[in-house]
Structure 1
């Protein structure tokens, strides 16, 4: 999920899900395809098609765990394999989700790319927010995507007529990297998602510092069972 061109390394985005409505333990699977796999505003598939799938377990207590795999291309074909667990719930009108996720890139050409984050996501009505902090990484500590990086996001979503939905997201990546070596690589990005049923049309734009600042138009499909 991390391909900053200047670092030679990075929602169809991994997004927060509220598990507060679960009434019993459940195992589910998901499958999806997108014309361009974007992660935090940056393409992970060289602006090409990506397919993905995953399996999730969730219990009535709020605990959940799962795994997800998606096709990527950082100059060579590979896969992103995610493993995560956490706890979600609600308090009044406030929803929360706290957990850990590990991003693994097993293909040749993706050495020293794996990393793990702890995250917290919250929501109140139509508003959402989140923060993720890198706690372990195969990258050097003073490099982008090393330990100590922070990612923040805020969002707002609402229903439109004819069962359409509109979501607005702004995210900002604050890298704990050596500016003298890597320069200023912190960046923000904005995304608009128009959805209906299993389909989503997205428009995304990231700052120049991301190394991937072209405006992107993406069509995605996903289902779960």
Structure 2
């Protein structure tokens, strides 16, 4: 998100449907978020309710993001809360870098580590804009202990139905789980800008 003004309050919600995989039956969820941004520094909360048992989630996070020419960066900390899972909460540090090869094509990397356990993950990303309303992206990486013993990848696309509403479809596959699709209807907006 570009910081056109000093202070911005963002928010949104999404309806999602996941096809069946080896972790359980098909999944449906409703999630939403609020994020306050001041000159690149941000703090936010994201929450999800789902039909999967013990899968409801609340994420609390903060960080700093910005741009230097074609390079974008985001340093953040997330704390994941699972209200119905005893001892399931954990924190994670993240570094996200992107580089715009053209105005339409971006490559990047994402690095994450859990300070408490030492587990981590590392990903390579690519994204392409196809006109004003359509985009494609792909991610490949390693996750689990010591920056990755298991690989996973995903590819997806979205279509902007309006300036704030999008329809997306993603495909996921990994060494440790069966492949599945996710269909998403999302709404994102700016509530306040000053």
Judging by fraction of residues, say which structure has more helix. Answer: 1
Query: Measured at CA, do residues 219 and 68 of structure 1 come closer, stay the same or move farther in structure 2, by a change above 3 Å?
Result: closer
User: How many equivalent pairs are there?
Assistant: 181
Q: CA deviation digits over 1:14-34, x for unaligned, max 9?
A: xxxx4x434221223222211
Relative to the length of structure 1, the TM-score reads 0.69
Per chain length, whose mean CA-contact separation is higher, i.e. which structure has more relative contact order (CA < 8 Å, sep 6+)? 2
Are residue 53 (structure 1) and residue 32 (structure 2) matched? yes
**CA offset at residue 50 of structure 1?**
0.7
TM-score w.r.t. length of structure 2: 0.79
- 1:124 matched residue in structure 2: 99
The Cα offsets for residues 20-60 of structure 1, whole Å up to 9 and x where unpaired, read as 434221223222211239xxxx8999532210111111012
Equivalent position of 1:90 in the other structure: 67
Question: Is contact 2:18–2:180 with CA below 8 Å preserved after alignment?
Answer: no
The Cα RMSD (Å) is 2.7
Distance 1:103 1:128, change over 3 A: farther
**What is aligned with 1:221?**
186
Structure 1 outlier segments of 4+, above 6 Å? 42-45
Alignment pair present for 1:100 and 2:67: no
SS in structure 1 at match of 2:66 = strand
Greater per-residue strand proportion: 2
Using the TM superposition, give the Cα deviation of residue 73 of structure 1 relative to its aligned residue in structure 2, in angstroms: 5.0
Q: CA deviation at 1:77?
A: 4.6
Show structure 1 runs of 5+ residues with no match. Answer: 1-17, 142-146, 178-183
Partner of 2:124: 153
